[in-house]
Structure 1
């Protein structure tokens, strides 16, 4: 029986391996990762520093080519795509929220959010960027530059930029790592809410086990391998947001 697009996992990793060269010899970063993620699922990936979490996120985003194994994300076999085709695919399918925001300092909040939409040729780029800023509570800050915004506000802009193109897959790499606890909770609430509103799959890299526990499943990585996968029940607040 052939699966429909709706039934097919949005992420399929089969025996994914990544080895990098170093002066001391080859270093195995990923050592045989098998993982499937369903469309609309929220998955938290945890593990100690150096375990391969961020490298795995880079593989999912098409930013890192694997040494062996197959990577299929949002209907594309990433192993087979050139760098140019990967960039086009990523622009259409993936939104990424980084720990360090990565905003363009010479652009306003509105311009930062509009960048991926303008690159995609969207005629309504500014209108969609403005709507995304309103969704994250920054409708009154669209003319401010990153240096004029707090860390939490900058991360909201980064989230708005990631979700404005309505990606199938939303990736977050330690999105609260540079924020205080209260601000971090606000960002996570917004992220889960936006993922639910857009029906985007959310994959979250974090050191925070309490944060990961808000996801549908928690994947623990150790030494480049999946150590365990645990299903978790979402909190009432995030269950309500997903309805």
Structure 2
């Protein structure tokens, strides 16, 4: 049997506050198999986005072990975490995070250019065509609709063919119809790349499309339901 693509053991995250330490994650044990789609659900403040950030190498746990794509993230310094993210994961946020002074093509090219890929522009163009933006390559973010900006962000996340795709409320800033288009692209392109998908959502319908739904409450996984 293949090793888990993501494995968390006794992961805790405690942050300081004016009122004293706050336990955000309180002992998470989790294994995600290669190619699985995971929906993280639960009320606001339950720890969903923090858990995603820990799995993506954006946040380091206070204690416990985090192994993703064969790398022990808990033991890596910031430089090695940055290289890990560059080489293994794609991340889509609710608020796009596009560079406003760069065109769609330039935004998608950036990860590959930073990695020294000489075919960066050609690969970025191909990925933008896959998300239906082949006619918007030279447009800046301010010239694009919210849905188009999220498509650019999705193309950027997938252009390096990551092993794992993380999405944090990817449809949260979009209207229903546009959000559904993004969802179809997210799942379709994820399958095309053979990526493991982990997404945070408040949408029960979106979560139900995943292989598993993990429900969080007060920093703990309180339910792990698999799709029949």
Aligned to 1:239: none
Residue 214 of structure 1: how far off its partner (Å): 0.3
Q: Output aligned runs, 1:140-159, within 5 Å.
A: 140-159=135-154
SS at match of 1:69: strand
User: 2 CA distance for matches of 1:58 and 1:120?
Assistant: 22
Runs of 4+ in 1 over 4 A off after TM superposition: none
Q: Give the one of 96, 99, 102 matched to 1:107.
A: 102
Task: Give 1:87's match in structure 2, choosing from 53, 62, 82.
Answer: 82
> 5 Å matches for 1:24-35?
24-35=19-30
CA distance in 1, matches of 2:220, 2:74: 20
| SS across alignment from 2:12 | strand
Q: Tell me how far 1:232 sits from its aligned partner.
A: 1.3
Deviation at 1:173, TM superposition (A): 0.1
Task: Give the secondary-structure state (helix, strand or coil) at the position aligned to 2:128.
Answer: helix
Q: How many residues align?
A: 228
Query: TM-score, normalization: structure 1?
Result: 0.93
Give matches, 1:109-124, under 5 Å: 109-124=104-119
* Other-structure match for 2:225: 230
Q: Please report how far the alpha carbon of residue 80 of structure 1 lies from its aligned counterpart in structure 2 after TM superposition.
A: 1.1
What residue number does 1:237 align with? none
Give the Cα–Cα distance (whole angstroms) in 2 for the partners of residues 43 and 63 of structure 1: 18
Structure 2 unaligned runs (5+)? none
2:121 — aligned with what? 126
Q: Cα RMSD between the aligned structures?
A: 0.7
Matched, 1:185 2:180: yes
Query: Which residues of 2 match residues 1-243 of structure 1 at below 5 A?
Result: 7-233=2-228
Inter-partner Cα distance in structure 1 for 2:29 and 2:74:
15
SS in 1 for 2:179: helix
Deviations 1:26-70 (A, max 9, x none): 000000001110101100000100000000111011111101110
What is the SS of the residue equivalent to 1:102? coil
- What whole-Å deviation, never above 9, does each CA across 1:2-36 have from its counterpart, x for those lacking one? x6xxx111000001000001110100000000111
TM-score (norm 2): 0.99
Which SS does the other structure have where 2:178 is aligned? Answer: helix
User: How many angstroms apart in 2 are the aligned matches of 1:47 and 1:15?
Assistant: 20
The structural deviation recorded for 1:222 is 0.4
Q: Structure 1: which 5+ residue stretches go unaligned? A: 234-243
Q: Name the CA distance, whole Å, in 2 between partners of 1:163 and 1:135.
A: 11
